[in-house]
Structure 1
Amino acid sequence: MFTKSILTAAALAVALPFAANANDGQAMQAATLNVDASAFTTNELAQIAAERGDTRKAERAARIQAQKTEVPGVTNAGRDMQAAILNLDPANFTTNELAQIDAETSALAKAERIEKILDEKSGATVSTSGVKSLTVEYVHHGRDDA
């Protein structure tokens, strides 16, 4: 028992400094890009860093921030088109949310993403008012006698 306690304490002593510095890379990348680390995810920072030239990096950062602050009730042509392709009401989703839905690979995953987004917006109540219609097709590829 004593040996286990010592091993656990040693493991914690080694792991804690690494856990405390989990976002140092993100902070360093944000500092290099001259942006606020708390305003962007690691993925968004990578997107900004991938741009060539300071002007394009600043434009990408501004575009990401604009998508985060976009008002769902106000529509634009690009969002309208993307929503039409997904058969959704554009007034209920931001461009970023529509992109998340579109990135899902199956109809079921898209439906789950829609439900999650609407659930987050409405609190504890799940509303499907933003969905015009959704058909999930299931194709059985196997034996029924299993």
Structure 2
Amino acid sequence: QIREMAGFPEVFINIAPIVVLFLAWLVVIVSFFVLAVQLFVTLIEFKLTTLAGFVLVPFALWNKTAFLVEKVLGNVVSSGIKVLVLAVIVGIGSGLFAEFQVQPAEPSIDHSVVVMLASLTLLALGIFGPGIATGLVSGGPQLGAGAMAGAALGAA
């Protein structure tokens, strides 16, 4: 397929498929980069709060300083749930993208657009992952159609 689109006159004739394939490639790369950064920052936050909070655990022995430990343990639990939610999102994405394996032939425009939309869905879930974790801690739903529409507008 690339050989058919290459060359001087063919590039201008096939500009639409070339642009669509390039856009799909770019969106997939950016989506997974943002998801990786989100996961990296969440893991660093979890490790920092756990290690820094470990110093405050002895304050739980005295009633007047027990409030320090309560906040730290709540933060550790919240960060742990955030890591759990992002791990579930990455697990869903791994399973989903295992289904989209490229056949021996080169990918078509339809296939690349499907992969692009799937990566945008994972990007939206990765962005709203901390909100989902907050909803798990507080006990309320945090993800709806309005949030997904906001993510779609933000991606556009």
- What's the TM-score bracket when you normalise by the shorter of the two chains? under 0.3
Higher helix share: 2
Q: Which gives a bigger RCO, structure 1 or 2 (Cα 8 Å, sep 6+)? A: 2
- TM normalised by structure 1 equals 0.26
- TM normalised by structure 2 equals 0.25
